[in-house]
Amino acid sequence: MKRRIDYPVEIRPLSDDDGGGFIAIVPDLPGCISDGKTMDEALHEVVDAIESWISVAKEFGDPIPVPDALDTVNYLIPGDLVAKIPAKLYAKLSMKAKQDGVSLDIFILNKLSEAV
């Protein structure tokens, strides 16, 4: 079953000093973060973190914030370009990159290069 991300997620690279890979942060849910070796893995893991965060909030009767901007992912492209990408588009881009056997960064950069 495909799980849906209802909260915006910021994905950033981690420095080598911090172990490398990527961190996924959910700004609307304080303390809700996850990480992964790849952006895709960080995004996958943060879905679990969101579900856990909401479950604990319900258990303790804490309010659950309404998502600030539904269905967006902040995606950091090498060169410090940050792009807000709808979650459905992010998923499609990830799938196409995997089919082409390249990283998501390279796939997006190739498509942008083709467009200009």
Query: For residue 59, what pLDDT is reported?
Result: 95
Q: Print the domain residue range for 34.
A: 9-115
Q: What are phi and psi of 104, to 5 degrees?
A: -60, -40
94 occurs within a structural domain: yes
The CATH number that applies at residue 87 is 3.30.160.250
pTM over 0.75: no
Query: For residue 31, what pLDDT is reported?
Result: 93
4 occurs within a structural domain: no
Q: Per-residue pLDDT for the chain (116 aa), expressed as one digit of tens each? A: 456 667 888 888 888 888 899 998 888 899 999 999 988 898 889 999 999 999 999 999 999 887 765 545 555 555 556 667 777 777 788 888 888 888 877 788 788 888 88
Q: What whole-number distance in Å separates Cα of residue 37 and Cα of residue 40? A: 8
Query: For residue 105, what pLDDT is reported?
Result: 77
8-state DSSP, 85: E
User: How many other C-beta atoms lie within 10 A of the C-beta of residue 8?
Assistant: 19
22 occurs within a structural domain: yes
Count structural domains, the chain: 1
Q: Which amino acid is at 1?
A: M
